[in-house]
Chains A and B, each alone.
Chain A
Amino acid sequence: MSTVVLLACTGLGLGALYFLVASGLSLIFGLMDVLNFAHGALLSVGAYAAWWAATDGGTGFWLAVVFGTVVGTAASVLLELALIRPLYVRPRDQILATVGVGLALPALLMGVWGSDARPFPQPAALSGTVGLLGATVPVNRFVLMAAALAVLVALRLFLARTRYGLIVRAGVEDRAMVTALGIDVRRAFTLVFAIGGAAASLGGALAGLYFGSVNPSQGTGLLIFAFVVVVMGGMGSVTGAAVASVGVGLVQQFANYYTAAGLGDLSVVVLLAVLLLVKPRGLTGRLA
């Protein structure tokens, strides 16, 4: 029983991380049809900024997380304005550009700080464990879950209650019609990119806590599963991404423990294939 609880908590923690990356990825694709292969790099930017603040900067953990999120958000806005925006009329070049950034940024991080994993300072309050139903679970799992839950609630409120949110939801369904109404939908793009970058870089900062270290290829590794989550949840659906994240995180952890290590990743791919066979449009029925 205690093993199951520990695996469930770890799976949910990992799922939370996937959600932080996938929610922005899903909204960005849903609204502007941009496959942002640089999204994992944004996570790494957040992770390294937080790590730098917590070590060289000497700030406390929470301030380092805020710093990482702010830097990652700024980087995503810069990415949209400088590289994505001029290429909306050339979607193939746009994808190549994001692939390029997705390769160049981790390489840059590697060049500056080396390819080895750098230990991420664990604050005393979050490095302990708690007993839950007989299991000993690291506290940081719950930090990730709480962060993902907060982002989910905030995104849902934003989408349901604000004018921007209404424009984004309509834009995800049919962008041309929003333009025909007289709304310049591109003004929402930068904001959605900023939101996606903020969630991803928050995920990056917290990934340092979860894995205990940061390394340049972390973002790219997480991005693959985030894409799986986006497809499973339905493009443009935040709630779908949340459900799929939980599913992927749990399946991965349990399969890794009860079968052979490494089979967790395979079982995620099998899960994706089965889901797409049964529901070709993903969990929410949105176009995938």
Chain B
Amino acid sequence: MGGSAPVLRLDGLGWSVRGVPIVQDVSFEVAEGEFVAFIGPNGAGKTSLFNLVSGIHPATQGALYLDGADITALPVPARARRGLGRTFQTSSLWPGLTVAEHVRLAAQAAAGPGASYRIWRRAGGYRQQVEQTLERTGLADRADDPAGSLSHGGKRKLELAVLLVGDPRLILLDEPMAGVSAEEVPALVELIRSVHQEQGRTVLMVEHHMDVLLGLADRLAVMHHGTLLALDTPDAVMADATVQGAYLGEAL
């Protein structure tokens, strides 16, 4: 995958809870600008793996490298500041804050801890950055509405806006289409495509809809019982006999 050093490298990464392995011995590399989609049945460990990468759960085995630096022991905020951004499987926003305030808070966070905690400066800064991001994600006309009033698709867009304003280099999307109505899906897919293809950001995404993935993903990763079963081009994965047997046959 290109000649450059990998953006992300997992080396035997695992997570056990009270001796029960949830994620086991996962190793792979992701190159700059690559789009890797994660599939697998419910409970296969996809979200847990994302939680390990973003730092929500501490890895109990193996190591994790971002741009060659060992980030295995770093907490969530430190990983986020190094350019790692993620969305969550369930919509996770602040319903009482307005759409613009969400993006402003994210812009504050992206500007670094110093900027976030400079007291008594009006929060009105970052205006241009906030407006651009809202424009890009198609939320400009909802800027002053509380996030709680948005549709599912609107909330997903807002999550992406919150993620994108910080311009993370590595983006983890956990089922970004979940709960989104059919007519809202194309706009979201287009937004994700532009982030990946036009801005060249590296994207890891958990998604169940194969039709969405096949146009986007450079590689497909198949998770099963907490292990990485296969990681290859979509065509190769679909043709793989192990995958057919263990996942596609079983879950579909």
Please give me the residue from chain A that is nearest to B168 by CB atom.
A182
Binds B, one of A15-23, A116-124, A164-172: A164-172
Q: How large is the interface on A (under 10, 10 to 19, 20 to 34, 35 or more residues)?
A: 20 to 34
In the bound complex, what is the Cα–Cα distance between A173 and B80 (angstroms)?
20
Extra inter-chain contacts (4) besides given A180-B54, A184-B77, CB under 8 Å: A167-B105, A177-B93, A178-B105, A180-B76
CB-CB contacts below 8 Å: B65-100 with A: 76-81, 86, 88, 92-97
**Residues from chain B with Cβ under 8 Å of A166 in the complex:** 97, 101, 104-105, 108, 123
**Residues from chain A with Cβ under 8 Å of B92 in the complex:** 174, 177, 180
**Residues from chain A with Cβ under 8 Å of B56 in the complex:** 180
Determine how close the nearest CB of chain B comes to the CB of A210; give it in whole angstroms: 31
In the bound complex, what is the Cα–Cα distance between A166 and B122 (angstroms)?
10
B interface residues, how many (CB within 8 angstroms): 36
**Residues from chain B with Cβ under 8 Å of A188 in the complex:** 117
**Residues from chain B with Cβ under 8 Å of A181 in the complex:** 77, 80, 105-106, 109, 162, 166
Please give me the residue from chain B that is nearest to A178 by CB atom.
B105
Please give me the residue from chain B that is nearest to A182 by CB atom.
B80
Determine how close the nearest CB of chain B comes to the CB of A120; give it in whole angstroms: 33
In the bound complex, what is the Cα–Cα distance between A162 and B125 (angstroms)?
10
Determine how close the nearest CB of chain B comes to the CB of A13; give it in whole angstroms: 31
In the bound complex, what is the Cα–Cα distance between A191 and B117 (angstroms)?
10
Which 4 A-B residue pairings sit nearest by Cβ, starting from the closest? Answer: A182-B80, A173-B94, A181-B109, A182-B109
A163 sits at the interface (CB 8 A): yes
Interface residues of A (CB under 8 A from B): 161-167, 169-170, 173-174, 177-184, 187-188, 191
16 A–B contacts, CB within 8 A, in A order: A161-B122, A161-B123, A162-B123, A163-B118, A165-B123, A166-B104, A166-B108, A169-B97, A174-B92, A178-B105, A179-B77, A180-B80, A182-B81, A183-B105, A184-B113, A187-B117
- A182 and B123 form a contact (CB under 8 A): no
Most buried by B among A177, A183, A184: A183
Please give me the residue from chain A that is nearest to B84 by CB atom.
A182
Please give me the residue from chain B that is nearest to A164 by CB atom.
B119
- B97 and A183 form a contact (CB under 8 A): no
**Residues from chain A with Cβ under 8 Å of B18 in the complex:** none
- A183 and B122 form a contact (CB under 8 A): no
